[in-house]
Amino acid sequence: MSLTFTPEIKEEFAKMADKRLKFNENALIILKKRYLQPGETPVNMLDRVSLGNVEYYKMMADLDFLPNSPTLFNLGTGKGTYSACFKYDIPDSMDGIMDVARKAALVQKWGGGVGYYFGNIRAKGAEVKGTGNHAGGPVGFLRMYNAIGDVITQSGKRAAAQMGILTAWHKDIKEWITCKSEDPDALSTFNISVSATDLFMKKATSDVPNKDGQLLDMIAEAAWTTGDPGMYFYDTSERTNPTPHLGKLTGTNPCGEVPLLDNEPCNLGSINLRNFANPAGFDWSRLAEVTGLATRYR
């Protein structure tokens, strides 16, 4: 698949097609398995993703920079999303919980990851007024979202990637911390983290023994055993929140690089720093040029 470009752009691409591509054999195998559209070649893929911008094409062909996977999967196809991941604050209602499940499934369908903030969900066993039932709690719904990710993985292009975050002072936090301890593979699509405020950390690290310190010890022990949970320092993120009037940064994308608002995406990419090193040192000016083109600040 290739977009329709002007004769000048087609000519420039033709000049570069054979001599500029630097994908090795392993890269070509992965491209064919995951990224190329039916009948598409690597050159066609770069044509599609560059949207006619020759500089952008050159940057990708030289492997100076590549955008995140959903961009490579979907840009120029008229389908899917181009963002790497989305983050959702899960409401404490069945309608809200299932709406987030629907959005998460669609994001994962097109190769993206999902982060969730579970702190609004009431504790396990709490009364659900109007039905006479009792709440399943954050860990119960964590398992539900994990099952959705598993199903998408079986038919999708790559494994699902999800992040679940729960505040340290939630009533179900101990169950959250230890939910991977008995069977780490049971929640294989998820990273999980504990959201800690400055006040929690101050209490947990004080010289006086207290329940917050015991909780921090539990977090450390579980992380040593299974790799989870991680820690999300909420107040630190809020101090650098560029848009506090739009909402709180209650959680992150699945890999934890970017604190995000509710319904906010992140758009990731990778710069190959090896390409900027040379016997004379490091080419900072070319790095600035590539960074500017990759992030479109000019």
- Active-site residues: which are they? 253, 255, 257
- Between 83-87, 92-96, 98-102, 128-132, the lowest mean confidence (pLDDT) is in 128-132
pLDDT in tens, 82-95: 898 999 999 999 99
- Between 76-80, 132-136, 161-165, 176-180, the lowest mean confidence (pLDDT) is in 132-136
**Domain co-membership, 110 together with 256:** yes
Residue-averaged pLDDT of the chain: 89
Report the CATH number that the domain containing residue 165 is assigned in CATH: 3.20.70.20
289 domain-assigned: yes
**Domain co-membership, 143 together with 57:** no
How many domains in the chain? 2
153 domain-assigned: yes
Q: Tell me: pLDDT of 111 over 90.
A: no
**Domain co-membership, 239 together with 177:** yes
1 domain-assigned: no
Q: Which residues pair with 175 in a beta bridge?
A: none
Q: Which two tokens stand for residue 261?
A: 């608002």
Omega of the bond leading into 229 within 30 degrees of 0 (cis): yes
**Domain co-membership, 125 together with 196:** yes
251 domain-assigned: yes
Task: Judge whether 124 and 137 are in contact, CB under 8 Å.
Answer: yes
State the DSSP code for 252.
E
**Domain co-membership, 256 together with 275:** no
192 domain-assigned: yes
**Domain co-membership, 93 together with 229:** yes
**Domain co-membership, 72 together with 137:** no
pLDDT in tens, 48-75: 999 888 899 999 999 999 999 999 989 9
Residues of the domain holding 277: 7-79+269-295
